[in-house]
Chain A
Amino acid sequence: AQSVAQPEDQVNVAEGNPLTVKCTYSVSGNPYLFWYVQYPNRGLQFLLKYITGDNLVKGSYGFEAEFNKSQTSFHLKKPSALVSDSALYFCAVRDSWGKLQFGAGTQVVVTP
Chain B
Amino acid sequence: NAGVTQTPKFRVLKTGQSMTLLCAQDMNHEYMYWYRQDPGMGLRLIHYSVGEGTTAKGEVPDGYNVSRLKKQNFLLGLESAAPSQTSVYFCASSYLVSSGADTQYFGPGTRLTVL
Chain A interfacial positions (CB closer than 8 Å to B): 9, 30, 32, 34, 36, 41-46, 49, 51-52, 90, 94, 97-100, 102-105
Does the CB pair A46–B100 fall under 8 Å?
no
Does the CB pair B102–A98 fall under 8 Å?
yes
CA distance A97 to B41 in the complex (A): 22
Q: Does B74 contact A (CB under 8 A)?
A: no
Does the CB pair A100–B45 fall under 8 Å?
yes
Chain B residues bordering chain A, tally (CB within 8 A):
27
Does the CB pair B42–A46 fall under 8 Å?
no
Q: Which residue of A lies closest to B45 (CB)?
A: A99
Across the interface, A44 reaches (CB within 8 A) one of B44, B58, B101, B106, namely: B106
Given the known interface contacts A90-B43, A102-B43, A105-B42, the answer about A43 and B106 at a Cβ–Cβ threshold of 8 Å is yes
Give the Cβ gap from B32 to chain A, nearest Cβ, in Å. 11
Give chain B interface residues in 99-115, CB to chain A under 8 Å: 99-109
CA distance A102 to B90 in the complex (A): 13
Give the Cβ gap from A55 to chain B, nearest Cβ, in Å. 16
Known A32-B101, A43-B109, A98-B31; further 4 A-B contacts with Cβ < 8 A: A43-B106, A43-B108, A98-B94, A99-B33
What 7 A-B pairs come out closest when comparing CB atoms? A102-B42, A32-B100, A43-B106, A44-B106, A102-B43, A104-B42, A43-B108
Q: Which residues of A contact B96 (CB under 8 A)?
A: 98
Across the interface, B104 reaches (CB within 8 A) one of A41, A46, A51, A104, namely: A46
Chain B interfacial positions (CB closer than 8 Å to A): 4, 31, 33, 40-45, 48, 50, 58, 90, 92, 94, 96, 99-109
CA distance A100 to B92 in the complex (A): 11
Does the CB pair B106–A51 fall under 8 Å?
no
Does the CB pair A44–B90 fall under 8 Å?
yes
Does the CB pair B42–A90 fall under 8 Å?
yes
Q: Which residue of A lies closest to B43 (CB)?
A: A102
CA distance A34 to B97 in the complex (A): 15
Does the CB pair A45–B102 fall under 8 Å?
no
Given the known interface contacts A43-B90, A98-B31, A99-B48, the answer about A34 and B43 at a Cβ–Cβ threshold of 8 Å is no
